[in-house]
Amino acid sequence: MPIRSTVILGTGSYAPERVLTNGELSHTVDTSDEWIRTRSGIRERRIAAPDEATSDMAVQAARRALEDARLAAADIDLLVVATMTPDLPMPAVACIIQQKLGVRTAAACFDLNAACSGFVYALDTACAMIASGRYQKALVIGVEKLSTIVDWQDRTTCVLFGDGAGAAVIGASSEPGIGLIGTRLGASGDSVDLLYISHGGSSAPSTAESIAARAHCMRMKGKEVFKQAVRVMDDAAREILEQHQLHADQISHVIPHQANLRIIEAISQYLELPMDRFFVNVDRYGNTSAASIPIALDEARRAGRIKPGDLTLLVAFGAGLTYGSALIRW
Ligand code: COA
């Protein structure tokens, strides 16, 4: 089958209505607006309603992406959902989204978990499947309801995360050199203990005791994650630029994973690229994991920041540790 160019035909995003400010958090854990802002750049985050599932947020973002692409759900034959907070352990949330959105029955639908790098992994996967010629139109969604796996009594993590969804519609193009022109995915499994949930999986199913100890919630060695994040994001960005014989200065904009403003600023310094080339919305959403890059990408497009011919770099890292970068020519 021929290898074709793969292009983003539309994007969409969704953030739940409820805004949780740093000030509100300072009433429930021993923290302050000043500490959170100076350490992370976060001012507020969105929290999904109790009856609003991951699939509901995904459907909202997907509808906007389809509208932007001027396509209908029935046109989609591949649905890839990056998440670590699916509605249920099984079936895949992709199938629940398929049903709620009205994606055709014969479409291939599956979830993928690469934590906060999930969207870049899902984009690469979907684009490879489209490039092969075996699929025509893909919907790639990054979505998280992290509020369900955050320990709201742990001030070292609960201030950092939020809920949301972002989506992109992918199609093929016969024009060479546009769309997704390259990706670099990787992982270092020797760092699994830096960011994890210890219970609720096959190695340690949840028990009454583990739930009482909130062992079904995220635990993180923040300082170490910070150091590794800067290193792997810098490497992932440099390697993809080298592969494509590009200089950082040729990048029109970087859409980085929105975990911490200080991490983004460090990448800006290492790549010697000014901060005005970086799209930042971590102040409004916190870290939404797999949803962070597609929300930022959608907001950047809708703000008119991305023009035809521009070169965009996506760069992410997450639990695993996973990392990934992608280059898109518009
Ligand atoms: N409010 C107030 N104080 C807090 C706090 C909070 N929410 N969380 C931690 N502290 C305290 C710590 O207990 C520590 O106190 P101590 O010195 O008395 O022990 C102090 O603040 C400094 O903590 P430290 O962990 O050294 O802060 P930091 O400057 O490294 O910032 C993070 C902490 C978590 C913001 C930062 O390490 C980080 O962003 N790491 C990466 C996290 C990340 O990106 N995770 C997602 C990966 S996809």
Show pLDDT as tens, one digit a residue, over the chain (330 residues). Answer: 457 899 999 999 999 999 999 999 999 999 999 999 999 999 999 999 999 999 999 999 999 999 999 999 999 999 999 999 999 999 999 999 999 999 999 999 999 999 999 999 999 999 999 999 999 999 999 999 999 999 999 999 999 999 999 999 999 999 989 999 999 999 999 999 999 999 999 999 999 999 999 999 999 999 999 999 999 999 999 999 999 999 999 999 999 999 999 999 999 999 999 999 999 999 999 999 999 999 999 999 999 999 999 999 999 999 999 999 999 999
Distance 222 CA to ligand 1 centre (A): 6
- Residues of the domain holding 104: 5-176
| Same domain for 143 and 114 | yes
| Same domain for 156 and 17 | yes
| Same domain for 312 and 229 | yes
Helix (H) or strand (E) run with residue 96 in it: helix 93-101
**Which position among 22, 113, 260, 287 bears the catalytic label?**
287
Q: How far apart are CA 329 and CA 311, in angstroms?
A: 5
Q: Which two tokens stand for residue 213?
A: 């100890």
| Same domain for 308 and 162 | no
| Same domain for 234 and 204 | yes
- Residue having the nearest C-alpha atom to atom 24 of ligand 1: 223
* Catalytic-residue membership of 287: yes
Q: How many domains does the chain have?
A: 2
| Same domain for 281 and 238 | yes
| Same domain for 260 and 167 | no
Distance 260 CA to ligand 1 centre (A): 11
Q: How far apart are CA 315 and CA 258, in angstroms?
A: 10
Is residue 79 within 8 A of residue 98, CB to CB? The reply is yes
Give the DSSP per-residue string, 136-175.
Answer: S-EEEEEEEEGGGTS-TT-HHHHTTB-EEEEEEEEEEESS
Residues with CB under 6 Å of ligand 1 are 31, 35-36, 39-40, 116, 155-156, 159, 195, 220, 222-223, 225-226, 229, 259-260, 287, 318
* Catalytic-residue membership of 116: yes
- CATH for 274: 3.40.47.10
Q: Which of 141, 176, 211 is the last residue of a domain?
A: 176
| Same domain for 199 and 161 | no
| Same domain for 213 and 148 | no
| Same domain for 167 and 260 | no
| Same domain for 210 and 159 | no
Q: Which of 176, 206, 228 is the last residue of a domain?
A: 176
The ligand 1 atom at the shortest distance from the C-alpha of residue 159 is 7
Q: How many alpha carbons lie under 13 Å from residue 266 in its C-beta half-sphere?
A: 18
| Same domain for 211 and 98 | no
Q: Which of 176, 191, 214 is the last residue of a domain?
A: 176
